[in-house]
Amino acid sequence: MARFMQFHDPELSIWQAAVGEVEARHSAGAQVEDIGAEAATTGRPDELDTMSAEALSYCLQIANGATLTDAAAVHPATEGLAQTIGLCSLTAVKLAKAAIADNAADKQRYGDELKKFGDCDPRYAEASALYAAYFIAQQKQIPYVMYKNLGDFVIDNKLPSVAKVAIVGDWGTGQNAAKLVLRQIANKNPDLVIHLGDIYYAGTQFEVSNYFLNLWQQILNLAQKPIPTFTLAGNHDMYSGGVAYYNLLRTLGQPASYFCLRNANWQFVAMDTGYNDHNPSSAGEGATYLQDSEVEWLTDKVNNAGGRRTVLLSHHQLFTAFDSINGNELNLRLYPQVAPLLPKVSLWMWGHEHNFVLYDTYKNLARSCCLGHGAFPVGQYEVPAQPKYADVPLHKDADGRNIVLGTTAGLYNHGYAIIELAGAEGTISYYQDSDEDNPMFQESLT
C-alpha cells in the first residue's frame, strides 16, 4: 500500500484530506468517546488505505503536469486506469467542482459516472461533498489575529527560569511515528512543548482534532499535568481556511499565531509564516513573508529584549542548503523583513522541510536549525546526499563531519529538540527517535 505523501498545493491537499476523512469515519477503528460525540480515530494508518492510495495516484498525476482535461481524455476501459491516473478521484473532484460552480448538468453527469465505474468506492461521492466544502472554506479570509498594542501576545508567566522546552516540527501526521516522538518528549517531563506547525493534509477540523489535539492531550497527559503547549501556523494548517487552527489555539490557550514567551533571561519569539503561504502560486517553492504589522511587532520584541537572549521560531525556513525557495537558497521576501534583527538572535529554529539540518553562521544569523523531521516519512534516498547550495554553511561535529540523521527500515529517523535553561545559561540537545536517551548532538546556546 502507498506511503503517506503531501503536496504543496491546497487543492490536492484538500482532496487528500477529504478522502482520508471519509475513510477514517467509515473504518472499524473509528470510535465514539462520549454519547452523542463525534466519532474519533486513533490516528492515521502508516500505510494509506485503498481510497487514500488511489487519491494519491490522482494527486501525483496532477502534480506531474496532467490537467483534468488530459486525464479525462483517457477512456475508462483502459487497463489499470484506477491505479495509474486515479480515475475515481478525478471524477469525484470534477463532481465537487461542478457543485462549487452550481452546475446541475455536470453534477448529474459526474455523479452518474461515479456510479457507473464499478471500481469506484461509493464513498467517493461523500468525499466529493467534503472537498467542495473545504475548497469553499479555503477561499475565505483566514481569521488571522492582529495585535492592538505592541505588548500583546507577550507571555511572561509560562517560562520558568529553570526550564526544559521541547520543540518538534511538522508533527501532525497522526501516524505511529508521531506518537512515538511525542511519547519520548513526554518521558523527558518538559515544562513547555512547542510545535513548529503543519497538521496534514489541510488542517481541517477533523485532522486538527484527530491527528493533533486528541493525541497531543493524551500523550502529553495534559489533563493531569496541564503544561503550556503551543503550535505555530504552517502552510498546511491554512489550506482549509485556518478556522480549525484558530479553534485549536483557543483550546490550547494560545493568544495568536505569533507570540513571545519570556523570562528574565530568555525569550522565544514565534512568527506566523503560514498566513502568506496558504494558497501558493508557485506550487511548492514560494517565498512566504510576514504581515507588515507583524514585522513591527517582531522588531519591537527583538530590539527591546531587555538583555534577554532571543530564540526565533517559525514554520518556514529563512534559507536552505538542500531544498529551494522560489529558485533560491534564501527567502528573498522574508529576509529583508528580518535582516536588521539577525545579529541579535541566538538561534532560529524552523521546520517546513522534512529534514534535520544544523547551520553555521550565515547572513549574520549566528546559528539556525531545520527541525522538520518530527513525523513525516522520508525515504533515505529522497534527500540529496550533497547540498544543492554549497555556500550555505552546515554545522560540523567535533570530527568535522556533517551532522545527519540515521535511517531505519529505509526511512530517515524522526526527532525533536530539548532546550534546557538555567538562568542565563542554555543548552540544546537534538534527539532521534531511534535513541531517546542519548542526543545525536548537543551544544551550548550561551
291 contacts 272 by C-beta, under 8 angstroms: yes
Query: How many separate helices (H) and strands (E) can be counted in the chain?
Result: 14, 17
Nine-digit cell string for 168: 518538534
As a whole number of angstroms, the distance between CA 129 and CA 89 comes to 12
Instruction: Determine the pLDDT at residue 41.
Output: 65
**280: pLDDT confidence band, cut at 50, 70 and 90?**
low
Find the radius of gyration of the CA atoms of the chain.
22
pLDDT of residue 117: 72
Burial class (CB in 10 A: 0-12, 13-18, 19+), 380: middle
Pairing of strands 266-270, 345-350: unpaired
- Which pLDDT does position 74 carry in this prediction? 44
Asked whether residue 72 carries a pLDDT value surpassing 80, the answer given is no
Report percent pLDDT > 70 for the chain.
Answer: 90
Chain mean pLDDT for the chain:
90
Segment 183-237, tens digit of pLDDT:
999 999 999 999 999 999 999 999 999 999 999 999 999 999 999 999 999 999 9
Q: The C-alpha cell of 419 is what?
A: 532546550
Distance CA 1, CA 313 (A): 36
User: pLDDT category, 57, cuts 50, 70, 90?
Assistant: confident
The residue among 100, 128, 104, 101 whose CA lies nearest residue 114 is 128
Q: What is the DSSP letter of 4?
A: P
Give yes or no for a contact between 423 and 439, defined as CB atoms under 8 angstroms apart.
no
The partner residues of 32 in beta bridges, in order of sequence, read 39
- What is the separation, in whole angstroms, between the first and last Cα of the chain? 47
Among the ranges given (113-122, 123-132, 195-204, 249-258), the one the predictor scored with the smallest mean pLDDT = 113-122
* Domain-wise residue ranges, the chain: 10-138, 154-444
pLDDT at site 61: 84
Task: Please tell me which residue, 128 or 2, carries the higher pLDDT value.
Answer: 128
Question: What pLDDT was estimated at residue 75?
Answer: 39
pLDDT higher than threshold 60 for residue 68: no
Question: Residues 408-436: what's their mean pLDDT?
Answer: 97
Specify the CATH class of 154-444 in words.
alpha beta
The DSSP code sequence of 44-85 is --SB--HHHHHHHHHHHHHHTT--HHHHHTS-TTSTTHHHHT
Exposure b/e, 356-372, CB count within 10 A at least 16 = b: bbbbeebeebbbbbbbb
Give the residue among 27, 88, 95 at the shortest CA–CA distance from 59: 88
pLDDT given at position 69 = 54
List the single range of 75-89, 116-130, 296-310, 418-432 with lowest mean pLDDT.
75-89
Residue among 171, 134, 180 at smallest CA distance from 22: 134
3-class secondary structure, 396: strand
pLDDT bracket for residue 398 (50, 70, 90): confident
Q: Give bridge partners of residue 443 from the DSSP assignment.
A: 428
Strands (E), 108-217: 154-155, 162-168, 192-195
- Per-residue model confidence as pLDDT tens digits over 328-340: 999 999 999 999 9
Sheet holding 441-444, edge to edge: 229-231, 192-195, 162-168, 415-422, 425-432, 441-444
- Residue 17: which of 277, 200, 170, 173 has the closest Cα? 200
* pLDDT of the residue at 39: 54
Q: Which residue, 99, 73, 98, 76, is CA-closest to 87?
A: 76
pLDDT band, residue 132 (cuts 50/70/90): very high
Q: Which of 65-79, 239-253, 321-335 has the lowest mean pLDDT?
A: 65-79
Average pLDDT over residues 92-96: 89
Single-letter amino acid code for the residue at 137? A
Report the pLDDT value the prediction gives residue 121, as an integer from 0 to 100: 84
Cβ(166)–Cβ(431) under 8 Å?
Answer: no
| Region of 192 on the Ramachandran plot (φ > 0 left; ψ -120 to 50 alpha; else beta) | beta
Report the pLDDT value the prediction gives residue 191, as an integer from 0 to 100.
98
In this structure, are residues 331 and 365 in contact, taking their beta carbons and an 8 Å threshold?
A: no
Whether residue 122 has pLDDT greater than 70: yes
205's grid cell: 477540523
pLDDT at 84: 40
DSSP secondary structure letter of residue 152: T
C-beta of residue 255 within 8 angstroms of C-beta of residue 145 = yes
Check if the beta carbon of residue 272 is closer than 8 Å to that of residue 230: no
Task: Over range 269-285, report the average pLDDT.
Answer: 77
Share of the chain above pLDDT 90, in %: 73
For residue 284, the model assigns a pLDDT of 44
- Please state the φ and ψ torsions of residue 330, each to the nearest 5 degrees: -115, 140
- Alpha-carbon distance of 189 to 212, in angstroms, equals 19
pLDDT value at residue 196: 98
pLDDT one-digit tens code per residue, 3-42: 889 998 899 999 999 999 999 998 855 453 433 445 566 7
How far is residue 356's CA from residue 369's CA, in Å, rounded to a whole number?
7
Instruction: Say if strands 415-422 and 425-432 run parallel, antiparallel, or are unpaired.
Output: antiparallel
Q: ∠ CA 338-343-349 to the nearest 5 degrees?
A: 65
